[in-house]
Amino acid sequence: MKTLLKALKRCAVAGAAALAVVSLQPVSAAQAAPAPVVGGTRAAQGEFPFMVRLSMGCGGALYTQQIVLTAAHCVGATGNNTGITATAGVVDLQSTTGRIQVRSTKVYRAPGYSGDGKDWALIKLAQPINLPTLKIATTTQYNTGTFTVAGWGAAREGGAQQRYLLKADVPFVSDATCRSYSGYSGLIAGEEICAGYAAGGVDTCQGDSGGPMFRRDAAGAWIQVGITSWGIGCARPNAPGVYTEVSTFASAIASAAATL
């Protein structure tokens, strides 16, 4: 079952019959206004300028101005790929003011990715996007505390993708606690990190896959510590979101980016 859950992840493309078991990704809250993350609030224009929406129904963040960091389960095999469109510069996907759309040229998927762990990938764009990038953690120093997640995914389990970027805060969950929950015994320590509330209510959801989980560093700047990967349902009690532990793969990500 764990392999099935991870294969489905929190992609927006999952079929209706699979929605009950897809993983949760960082998204905002369900409110009166349209929102993309369960239990989140709408992000302000320019609040997270590094956020990217990908045309296959996933999220991502600008690693460089020409490379997007996302989840491996969102992309195909490593190689040339011109079939992905990245949208950036807006929180409202229907807004044309400030919206930037760029096609992909190449994809790099983490070597050895098979649905369990190693859930990261890079997408090279046809041209740079002149927006701030999101630096990634290179040590485990920031792998605790409270994290921010954001995305255009569903505002409720099984719901539709959203027009507006939503944000939410979720607390770190230790490996031991995360593994104690039903369906999470296969958590891969050192490659995955859990975050969420035991009571549920706030989480990423379908369509948030590949988006960043981030927090402030010692200097007050945003730093990415996770990539939305999988989970059981969306915002259920005792079912936190699971994120790729970015610091583990920081060197590999940097090396791969240099080859694109």
- Indicate which residues carry an active-site annotation: 73, 119, 209
Q: Which of 26, 24, 51 is nearest to 168 (CA)?
A: 26
Instruction: Reduce the DSSP state of residue 226 to 3 states and report it.
Output: strand
Burial 220-259 (b: 16+ CB within 10 A, else e): eebbbbbbbbbbbbbbbebbbbbbbbbbbbbeebeebbee
| Cα–Cα dist 185/4, whole Å | 14
| Token pair in block for residue 173 | 């969950």
Q: Where are the beta strands (DSSP E) in the chain?
A: 41-42, 51-54, 58-64, 67-70, 79-80, 85-88, 100-109, 121-125, 135-136, 146-151, 166-173, 192-195, 212-216, 222-230, 241-245
Phi–psi pair at 102, nearest 5 degrees: -135, 140
Residue 136 Cα distances to 27, 146, 164, 178, 195, angstroms:
19, 16, 25, 23, 17
Residues 6+ apart with CB under 8 A from 61: 50, 51, 52, 68, 69, 70, 133, 134, 211, 212, 214, 224
Residue 22 Cα distances to 158, 228, 230, angstroms:
9, 12, 7
